[in-house]
Structure 1
Amino acid sequence: MGNSFSMHRRSAFITLGLVFAFAAGCVYYTTQLNLDYNFQAFFPLGDPDLEYYDQFTEWFENDNDYLLIGIRNEAGVFQSDFLARADSFSSFLATLPEVVSVNSPTQARQLVIGPLGPVQVPYLHWDDPARLPADSQRVFQTEVLLGNSFSEDGKAIAIFLNHTQFLSNEKGEVLVDQIEASLPGFGFDEVHIAGKAKAQAEYIYLMQGELVGFLLASFCLVVVFLAITYRSWFGVSIPMLVVGLGVLGIMGIMGALGKDLDLMMVMLPTIMFVVGMSDVVHILTKYIEELRLGMAKEEALRTTLKEVGLATFLTSLTTALGFFTLYLSNIIPIRDFGLYTAIGVFTAFVMAFTVLPSFLILMKQPVVVTRTQNMRVWNRVLRGLFRGVLKYRFQIITAYGVLFLLSLCGVSKVEIDSLLLEDISKNNPLKADFDFFDKTFGGTRPFEMSVAVTDSTGSLFELENLQDLDQLHVYLQTEYGADNLMSPLVWVKSIMQALNGGNVADYRIPANENELSQVNRYLTRLLRREGASSLLAMEGQMGRITGKMPDIGSKLSLEAKERMDVWMEGALTGNLQARLTGTSLLIDKNNEYLANNMFEGLAIAFAIISLIAGAMFKSMRMILITLVSNIIPLLMVAAIMGFTGISLKLSTSIIFTIAFGIAVDDTIHFMSKLRIEVGREKSLLYALKRTFLHTGKAIIITSAILGVGFLILLFSSFGGTFYIGLLVGLTLLFALVIELTLLPVLILWFFKRRERIIPKRKQLA
């Protein structure tokens, strides 16, 4: 064959040889991929609060390098045998690698200052059962212990384990495994473990299962669809091989570039498997159609590439750009997901237009060409559907108008909100562990705040600053919801209590300068012995308030922060400045960027689609038709979110740009075919009918594969992945219905003659 669209056998062999050599390299690099989950990667880049938190960790420490171990004893924790086992367990924990310190209730001490100086008195005398009743009374009267180390019902204790900072996933998993393996030997009634290391280990375990499970499910799904559609081994094996090479290609590229599979990337192979099938189905369907019209194999291939080549390139472009707009995000995992998926879309496009034509050249004419019964069924169904659309065009316009208004109502109900562990299923044991601490020990959500004096010569331990700090503590506990608070104020109150014989009522700040001077006599010595670096910095001018709180969601947390900021402006004297920080705040602030990123991405996608439609038809009306037919599915899904209470969050915010980029593919294929038919001197109605019949089958098949392919993600253990599958799948199915009903009606509504769609000088012979 002599033109650019033909491919003789030699070039086909060369092409396949190069592709399979590339695939061999990809196999190697795919084996280098690792699973990784680092929740800190989800912090927003360039945010001032992130920069401040980085400085905060240099002053003090990271706020997530710990494990909480809750132990429940149904008979009550003030039992000598139970406390002995808990103490042995605490001692064992201290021997484990990567463990920095262990704070156990069995080893807690109270400071008492007597005539002979300060001494540390155990809170619990677990080796003397006769003293435990009195010990329990003292525990229930001690603010720093109740709700922190001991549950309020007296049936559980919490051990705080501090491990090496920024512990890797592998070492964190080993640490958790060692702890869990030791538990049977201590015979506890009930044990719960929570913390970053435990969560990351569980996430990676789930990601491993889902990576394999989703690939197998999508493979089986596509095989079933292809078998039903083409009813031949040719129609199944060749598309599967082409798409498989595309998936392997992007996985190999990721491996070569050192990109690991994180929580977002684990969806990529499944998405690429179903998205990559779209190009193949359009090419193969058109090729078989031309063969059935009596064309020779090479001529049929040339016609196929000519008529669907541009449209397929444009659909790949819009899909890739839909994903690539995620690169505007401030969150690294979302940026990487958008970038690599966009690369994967074009990898699939290249495979479809190199590997598939090469196989078609080298293979004999497929037997499926002679099976016309399937074609007649499709034509009968599509003709009936087209007649129905024409007959009920006014009802269709009215129905979508009502649906549009209802969608706007639902969209107004969408709220931005997220929980730290909402990705985990309610039935997952990890969720139960974190819920246990939320209900029993004030939560697992880290609370971090810095406090600093504004006077360069001042100190946090001046009486006025201590009074402000005490007010702040009270507000945080009673209004903000933080609990288990530790700060330099706790040291001062503990010394005051110690100076008064350990009297619970004297756990307070000094009442005057005289009492403060007594506290200062012991404060320096105490801080030197305890090590103040975790709560005090800059020679006493900077302090840290750290604690825990329940996971109430980002919406309520940010609202509480706003109220607290207003309160601090009026309540603090001005010599003390406090600033909320920590990983929890940064995760909450992600939502501030989500809406902006989403609208920016959609605006770019709308602009690109407008340019494509404008270039094809030179008509503002066609641009409007294209946008309307693809915006309505997005509004419908957003309305479902609003009416059902699905919040806009990290996972759901990305579905709109993804779904729009994919859904518009059908519109481009439809419009491209319409442009060709109109250019052949046919009436608008006849051209529209031909377009409907010739593109309908491929549009239905690809949309069904894509929609159901995304719905596979409903079986995910992660809430975010579940909602991506549900909402993108619904968007694509809604878009399919609109393409086959509303789009033809809009074209007939806005255009009366074909000349208005394409000027005569542009018509095709």
Structure 2
Amino acid sequence: MWYRLGKFILKFRLALLVLLLVATAVMAFFARKIQMSYEFSRAIPTDNIKYRDYQSFLKRFGSDGNTVVLGIASDSFFTPAIFAAAEKMHQQLKQVKGVEAILDAPEAVNLVRDTVADKLVPTRIFATGALNQQQLDSGRRLLESLPFYKGLLYNPATHAYLFAVTVNKDTANSKSRSRLINDIMKPVQSFATATNLQVHVSGLPYIRTTVADRLQKELKWFLIGSLVLSAITLLLFFRSVSAMLMSLAVVCIGVVWSIGTMVLLGYKITLLTTLIPPLVVVIGVPNCIYFLNKYHTSYKDTGDKNAALITMVGRMGVVTLFCNIAAAIGLGVFALTKSNLLSEFGVIAGLNIMLLFVISLIFIPPVLSYLPVPKPREMKYLDNRMLERMLLRIETWTFKHTKWVYTVTIALVLLALSGMFKLKAEGFIVDDLPKGDVLYTDLKWFESNFGGLMPLEILVDTKKRNGLFRSLKPIEKIDSFSRYVAGRPEVARPLSLMEGIKFVWQGVNDGDSAYYAIPSEFEAPILKKYLKTGAKDSSSNNKQAAAMNKLLASFMDSAKQVARISVNMKDVGTVRLPVILHEFDSVAKQTFDTAHYNVTFTGSSVTYLEGSVFIINGLRDSVLWGFGLIALCMLYLFRSFRILLCSLIPNIIPLMITAGVMGWTGIALKPSTVLVFSVALGIAIDVTIRFLVNYKQELPNYKNDVKETLVQTIHHTGVSIVYTSLVLIAGFIIFCVSSFGSTKALGWLTSLTLIVGTFTNLILLPVLIWLFRRKK
């Protein structure tokens, strides 16, 4: 069948090339319409309870984690020059499109009781305009007498001051987010230049935007780098510019098709699918090497170009098909998960790896038929003496030193198993960043000075409309639980309706800080009167009053049934966070009667934890699915359980060794590192298929003599296997220069797996075939 297909392709070569180029032009047209996805909670299935809790929270309270925070440390902050620069920065930030509110010391307010109108009037602590030192000292004393701002806007112990810039959530999750962050940074940089102070910048919108922009820029360079590196490698191997350009054309067409299929399927580019174009390059080049190697071998034997091309398709078509099927399965199994993020990656990766096979089959034979016959220097690599000596040594090991092969293999497996027991699953929101990166150091600065920035939302549902104010009990319980949370070292001071009530009660009592507390049952009616008065002010032209009332309203729903406790946490990681949440939940059940209250923990921290766990479990299951499906393909291809066993062992061992290395070196299992196993499995199995198909094809030619067939297979396939492995390793090793841990891990861990896989398939696989041979 494959030989007939080869004749058909050569017969209609021009029509097939034109059809391919037209289809590529159509795909390029669609590829121009690709868009970037800016959603960060799509790793969790929509039917997951944590996802539903988070969506319910967003519906009630809008959003969390939409604040960019700026911080400075200076004991001279309240001096005319620096404070004026801070005020100027505040005014400039207010003009940025997408900035909704700013909370900072220059515009902090105090609640002053108007004895005539009997209401509270929010009044700026610091007047506008130029202030002298006396005015600043007076305002500073007033600010520090208000416990509401302590730990929120300033840290008296470290002289650290915080500016909280709330941004529009839709803008922060759109393509305008980079523009928004850049516009925010301009006044910040001007302030830093004017005052000679270091400004620390963090917050989820800033971290996510900066990381995404860096990653996109890196992956573009990696795509270019992988193309250049592949070109150099191909040129060194084949000494042919035409072969190099043909191979690059195949992978470039594959890249265009991969982006085009995303648009046609209605997908957007995510931080995961951005890996697909470089993967297409790395996986596409071996297709070209397999075809070229067989073409050169056949031409060298026959001297007939047309016959060599037909033989190339006839012998390598099935090999390349099943190699691409294995790679497509390794990545395509992600489509079986319930996560949209993983599912889209699996669909696009699996589909386009199969399309690569079609592109290679339609493009390579016709192009080679139009090119001149291979020159002797282009086939010189077939007679590489150093490589031939290595293959002779492998032949010797296969038949004369099998005990050493078994001994070394068992020793490596035992060592890997001991390392695997040291593996742990743990991830951090910024653990992909180097410890010296400014994003990481700034986040740690805020954790040290203000307790943390990762949002945790605690919702207390009283199960009754207006249940928060039917009595003081809900208020007291929420305050008690908030004080427990505030005492934990992993979190900053919680913000809730209680803090607003305390602030109001202090204002009612003429700013006496002793009254920053929940009023008694007897005093509650007085407080309610001022809270109702404040509600009327929200519709007036008093912007400060409206802002304060909006702040209070943001911590309870419109029915006054659900209260929100907003907590900023340290980036404690996926191991520590569940423990903390469990402890919070235990205390919440002791504090709130479950018959009358329902307490929910949600927010970006919880969804990140759930997403990380789900992705790790999904990737683990995908590896198992991949093994199962690849095993079925191998069983169908070879119709032998002995060959199936021989094929799986050399591919399980490299994954075990990689897992062992991760355990010994302290690399944790997380979404970025678990992905390595699926990628490596789908690619490393190619070498096995290449070896076994050639073995099966040659076995009848040697009258079913296993030893002679193995010798021929080692020498015949060894050249292309070594060259293909070198190209694959070079393609992945380029990722090691990344500044992100996830990309770097994909690079060196996959390269390690491929290196080990090359040795196990060239050395252990022949030994296993010889061991399990049918003895007469």
Shorter chain as denominator, the TM-score bin is: over 0.9
1:664 paired with 2:685, answer yes
- Deviations 1:292-329 (Å, cap 9, x if unpaired)? 11252222222222222212111111100111111233
1:150 paired with 2:139, answer no
Correspondence for 1:695:
717
- Deviations 1:225-254 (Å, cap 9, x if unpaired)? 222222223432322222322222223333
Correspondence for 1:309:
317
Correspondence for 2:433:
424
Candidates 394, 403, 413, aligned match of 2:412: 403
- CA 2–744 in structure 1, closer or farther in 2 if over 3 Å, else same: closer
Question: How far apart are 1:505 and its partner, in Å?
Answer: 2.8
Q: Which amino acid aligns with 1:559?
A: V
Q: Which amino acid aligns with 2:773?
A: F
Alpha-carbon contact 1:326-1:654 (below 8 Å) kept:
no
Question: How far apart are 1:608 and its partner, in Å?
Answer: 1.7
Question: How far apart are 1:258 and its partner, in Å?
Answer: 5.0
- CA 540–302 in structure 1, closer or farther in 2 if over 3 Å, else same: same
Alpha-carbon contact 2:635-2:641 (below 8 Å) kept:
yes
Q: Give the SS at the match of 1:418.
A: coil
Correspondence for 2:543:
none
Q: Give the SS at the match of 2:487.
A: helix
Correspondence for 1:251:
259
Candidates 711, 724, 744, aligned match of 1:722: 744
1:121-270 equivalence runs, <5 A: 122-124=124-126, 127=131, 129-130=133-134, 132-133=136-137, 135-137=139-141, 139-140=143-144, 142-153=146-157, 155-167=159-171, 168-183=173-188, 185-186=190-191, 187-188=194-195, 189-257=197-265, 259-270=267-278
1:150-549 equivalence runs, <5 A: 150-153=154-157, 155-167=159-171, 168-183=173-188, 185-186=190-191, 187-188=194-195, 189-257=197-265, 259-294=267-302, 296-368=304-376, 371-372=379-380, 374-375=382-383, 377=385, 378-455=387-464, 458-459=467-468, 462-479=471-488, 481-510=490-519, 512-527=520-535, 529=538, 530-531=549-550, 532-549=552-569
CA distance in 2, matches of 1:736, 1:192: 47
CA distance in 1, matches of 2:76, 2:337: 50
TM-score by length of 1: 0.92
Correspondence for 2:607:
586
Question: How far apart are 1:160 and its partner, in Å?
Answer: 1.6
Correspondence for 1:97:
97
Q: Give the SS at the match of 1:580.
A: strand
Q: Which amino acid aligns with 1:685?
A: K
Superposition RMSD in Å: 2.6
CA distance in 2, matches of 1:713, 1:253: 25
CA distance in 1, matches of 2:644, 2:10: 42
Correspondence for 1:6:
7
Correspondence for 2:544:
none
CA distance in 2, matches of 1:290, 1:2: 14
CA distance in 1, matches of 2:384, 2:704: 24
CA distance in 1, matches of 2:277, 2:392: 36
1:602 paired with 2:623, answer yes
1:19-98 equivalence runs, <5 A: 19-72=20-73, 74-98=74-98
Question: How far apart are 1:2 and its partner, in Å?
Answer: 9.5
1:638 paired with 2:665, answer no
Question: How far apart are 1:356 and its partner, in Å?
Answer: 0.6
Which deviates further from its counterpart, 299-308 or 628-637?
A: 299-308
- CA 373–736 in structure 1, closer or farther in 2 if over 3 Å, else same: closer
CA distance in 1, matches of 2:754, 2:381: 28
Alpha-carbon contact 2:65-2:454 (below 8 Å) kept:
no
Correspondence for 1:731:
753
Correspondence for 1:570:
590
Question: How far apart are 1:706 and its partner, in Å?
Answer: 1.1
Q: Give the SS at the match of 2:522.
A: helix
- CA 368–441 in structure 1, closer or farther in 2 if over 3 Å, else same: farther
- Deviations 1:445-485 (Å, cap 9, x if unpaired)? 11211111135573256222222112211221113732242
- CA 5–179 in structure 1, closer or farther in 2 if over 3 Å, else same: closer
CA distance in 2, matches of 1:99, 1:369: 64
Q: Which amino acid aligns with 2:161?
A: I
CA distance in 2, matches of 1:700, 1:45: 45
Q: Which amino acid aligns with 1:723?
A: A
Q: Which amino acid aligns with 1:409?
A: S
CA distance in 2, matches of 1:285, 1:392: 30
Question: How far apart are 1:390 and its partner, in Å?
Answer: 2.9
- CA 359–577 in structure 1, closer or farther in 2 if over 3 Å, else same: same
- CA 115–538 in structure 1, closer or farther in 2 if over 3 Å, else same: closer
TM-score by length of 2: 0.91
Identify unmatched segments of 5+ residues in structure 2. Answer: 539-548
Question: How far apart are 1:534 and its partner, in Å?
Answer: 1.3
- CA 13–345 in structure 1, closer or farther in 2 if over 3 Å, else same: same
Alpha-carbon contact 1:148-1:442 (below 8 Å) kept:
no
- Deviations 1:61-107 (Å, cap 9, x if unpaired)? 110222212244x3422223322332232233223322222222122
Alpha-carbon contact 1:315-1:664 (below 8 Å) kept:
yes
Candidates 581, 601, 622, aligned match of 1:561: 581
- CA 643–527 in structure 1, closer or farther in 2 if over 3 Å, else same: farther
Correspondence for 1:760:
none
Which deviates further from its counterpart, 425-434 or 266-275?
A: 425-434
Q: Give the SS at the match of 1:462.
A: coil
- CA 401–274 in structure 1, closer or farther in 2 if over 3 Å, else same: same
Correspondence for 1:626:
647
- CA 682–251 in structure 1, closer or farther in 2 if over 3 Å, else same: same
Q: Give the SS at the match of 1:166.
A: helix
CA distance in 2, matches of 1:57, 1:70: 27
Question: How far apart are 1:44 and its partner, in Å?
Answer: 4.2
Q: Give the SS at the match of 1:422.
A: coil
Correspondence for 1:676:
697
